[in-house]
A and B are shown apart, each in its own frame.
Chain A
Amino acid sequence: MNQDEILTKITEIMRETFNSPTLELTPDMTAKDIKGWDSMKNIWLIVAIEEAFGVKLSTSEVISIESVTDYINLIQQKQS
């Protein structure tokens, strides 16, 4: 999957997770830019991303994620 495809899929997941159908995602966005991205929703997001992309993220990988780009890079790295 290329970066744009991953971004499109993550956007869909985030819209559903954060109950925000109008959410438009850009790679440089962080938790601060997205309303509702809190610790609880973050766990749902991680589980949904793991299921959608067929990857497993460790606790230290999750802690190091700060932006949408970090998710994209991690997913690409895991899929390659």
Chain B
Amino acid sequence: MIFHSLDYLVFLPLVVAIYWMLNREKQVLFLIAMSYFFYGYVHPWFLYLILTSTVVDYYCGLAMGRFVEHKLKILIVSITVNLGLLGYFKYFGFFVDNVAELLILLGLPSFTNNLDIYLPVGISFYTFQTMSYTIDIYRGQLKPRKNFLDFALFVSFFPQLVAGPIERAVNFLPQIEKKRTLSVDDVQSALFLLIWGFFKKMVIADNIAFIVSKIFLLENTSFMLVWVGAFAFGIQIFADFSAYTDIARGSARLLGFKLSQNFNHPYISASPTEFWKRWHISLTSWVHDYIFLSLALSRRLRTAVGGLIISLFITFFLNGLWHGAGWSFVLWGLYHFVLLLIYAWAKSVTPEYIRDHQFLRPFQILLMFILLHPSYIIFLNVDISYMWRDLTLSPFVNSEIQITAALFLFAKALLFSLPLWAHTIFAYVRERYWKGDRWEPIAIQTVASMIMFIGILVLRGDSVDFIYFQF
């Protein structure tokens, strides 16, 4: 089931209404049933996969608690099963393609890849979520859970099952295990998150998706058009993905759960490091804690010259690959790796009083925003030859009609994204000059919600799937 559908508009209120009539144990059972219904709505066979992950990690967790001396072996079983599922459904086709290409390169007899493996939505999210449970037990940061139902809900909780935020067992299991409450404040903030999420998806992202697909399907393109396309995609992907997160957080809040923050106004970042602290926070922190730290603090890399660089390289390589089985995603990850290295070097040679000067921050933000554009061109072009063509276009060769089209599409993208920019600028001002906790009084929220509701009715674009469903 998808969020921006009539089905979900019926499903969510019904679930919330029945849920609050039940006691804690029955709530858990009910939410598992509803989560499985939500996930198996279109393809019921997806449920076998999530059930496999759940059962394997539940028993691996218990076994690690009981057979402490074998916990590394048990962790390997958990990781092998989860990465095995992910590897087969997401990466096997890519692997076979590459073997076939390699054979051609070596001048050996090759074959055609006839595999047609269907990618189950959300598999990258819930496998990472459930692996965090067994890894945390292995590291001694979490106690294994005996209640199977509580654990099954942790893996399958429908609001964040398909596209995150990737919750950590340490934060989320205690919420499942205790009695939940719902205050007026919770309902108010949940409804605001829901309407803001639907507005971002249906009005901003879906309308801008049309501009992006128009530009990147052009055979005869130009520098200006490609950069306007990258600008539009930057807005689309942020509006689309953060919309999913907001709807997930709003839905969860109506059920008494607080999901973690996944975005914190990434476009006011002044450096790549800051960007990764604000963008897809739940994945970045997962990758940081479980991949980067494990590598950088490993015996070999900790003492190696360039150990940190190697760790960072592998982390961003895998971060790119997590997004999709394709070299364009890997290159996207590596572009961010190079940006991080350049910034780290620049920071080390810049005096503190220049580096941290308040006056320079808006310019640093602008530079960072511009530097994100090539990453979007890389991300969007699955075909490497097209990617190279788009990245190497001359800024000085644009026909008159291409300039007019680019300016028109830029203005359109800017217009549709005005609420997003207003929200971002507001966040910037609040962060810099206004440290108060509450910044959205109820009156403003109500008026904004009504305007957004009308906006959804009048301005919504043609429905497009959430971008992160494909990951």
Chain A residues at the B interface, C-beta cutoff of 8 Å: 19-22, 35-36, 38-40, 43-44, 46-47, 57-60, 62-64
Cβ of B356: which chain A residues have Cβ within 8 Å of it?
35
Main secondary structure of the interface of A (DSSP, over half): helix
Taking a contact as CB atoms under 8 Å apart, the answer to whether B139 and A44 are in contact is no
Which residues 283-318 in B have Cβ within 8 Å of A in the complex? 288-289, 292-294, 296-297, 302, 308, 311-312
Taking a contact as CB atoms under 8 Å apart, the answer to whether A36 and B140 are in contact is no
Cβ of A46: which chain B residues have Cβ within 8 Å of it?
297
A22's closest neighbor in chain B, by CB? B352
Q: Which of A21, A35, A64 meets B141, CB within 8 Å?
A: A64
Known: A22-B352, A39-B292, A40-B308; 5 extra A-B contacts, CB below 8 A, are A19-B352, A40-B312, A47-B302, A57-B297, A60-B140
A70 to B229, CA, bound (A): 47
B110 at the interface (CB under 8 A from A): no
Taking a contact as CB atoms under 8 Å apart, the answer to whether B297 and A36 are in contact is no
B298's closest neighbor in chain A, by CB? A59
Query: Given A19-B352, A43-B308, are A36 and B293 also a contact pair (CB < 8 Å)?
Result: no
Top 3 nearest A-B pairs (CB, nearest first) are: A60-B139, A38-B273, A43-B296
Taking a contact as CB atoms under 8 Å apart, the answer to whether A63 and B293 are in contact is yes
Least Cβ distance of B207 to chain A in Å? 36
Least Cβ distance of A78 to chain B in Å? 15
Taking a contact as CB atoms under 8 Å apart, the answer to whether A60 and B347 are in contact is no
Q: Which of B294, B344, B348 meets A59, CB within 8 Å?
A: B294
A60 to B139, CA, bound (A): 6
Cβ of B140: which chain A residues have Cβ within 8 Å of it?
60
Taking a contact as CB atoms under 8 Å apart, the answer to whether A36 and B347 are in contact is yes
B187 at the interface (CB under 8 A from A): no
Q: Which of B273, B294, B302, B347 meets A39, CB within 8 Å?
A: B273
Interface size on B, residues (CB 8 A): 22
Question: 20 pairs across A/B with beta carbons < 8 Å?
Answer: A19-B347, A19-B352, A20-B352, A21-B352, A35-B356, A36-B347, A38-B277, A39-B292, A40-B308, A40-B312, A40-B344, A43-B296, A43-B311, A46-B297, A47-B302, A58-B297, A59-B139, A63-B139, A63-B141, A64-B141
Taking a contact as CB atoms under 8 Å apart, the answer to whether B273 and A43 are in contact is no
A22 to B355, CA, bound (A): 14
B340 at the interface (CB under 8 A from A): yes
A58 to B298, CA, bound (A): 9
B344's closest neighbor in chain A, by CB? A40
A58 to B288, CA, bound (A): 15
A35 to B356, CA, bound (A): 8
Cβ of A57: which chain B residues have Cβ within 8 Å of it?
297
A62 to B347, CA, bound (A): 24
Cβ of B340: which chain A residues have Cβ within 8 Å of it?
40
Cβ of A62: which chain B residues have Cβ within 8 Å of it?
293, 297
A62 to B298, CA, bound (A): 12
Taking a contact as CB atoms under 8 Å apart, the answer to whether A44 and B308 are in contact is yes
Least Cβ distance of B72 to chain A in Å? 13
Taking a contact as CB atoms under 8 Å apart, the answer to whether A59 and B293 are in contact is yes
Which residues 337-366 in B have Cβ within 8 Å of A in the complex? 340, 344, 347-348, 352, 356
A7 to B244, CA, bound (A): 44
Cβ of A60: which chain B residues have Cβ within 8 Å of it?
139-141
Cβ of B297: which chain A residues have Cβ within 8 Å of it?
43, 46, 57-59, 62
Taking a contact as CB atoms under 8 Å apart, the answer to whether B352 and A40 are in contact is no
Q: Mark B120-147, 1 if CB is under 8 A from A, else 0.
A: 0000000000000000000111000000
Least Cβ distance of A56 to chain B in Å? 9
A47 to B305, CA, bound (A): 13
Cβ of A19: which chain B residues have Cβ within 8 Å of it?
347-348, 352
Cβ of B347: which chain A residues have Cβ within 8 Å of it?
19, 36
A26 to B296, CA, bound (A): 27
A47 to B296, CA, bound (A): 10
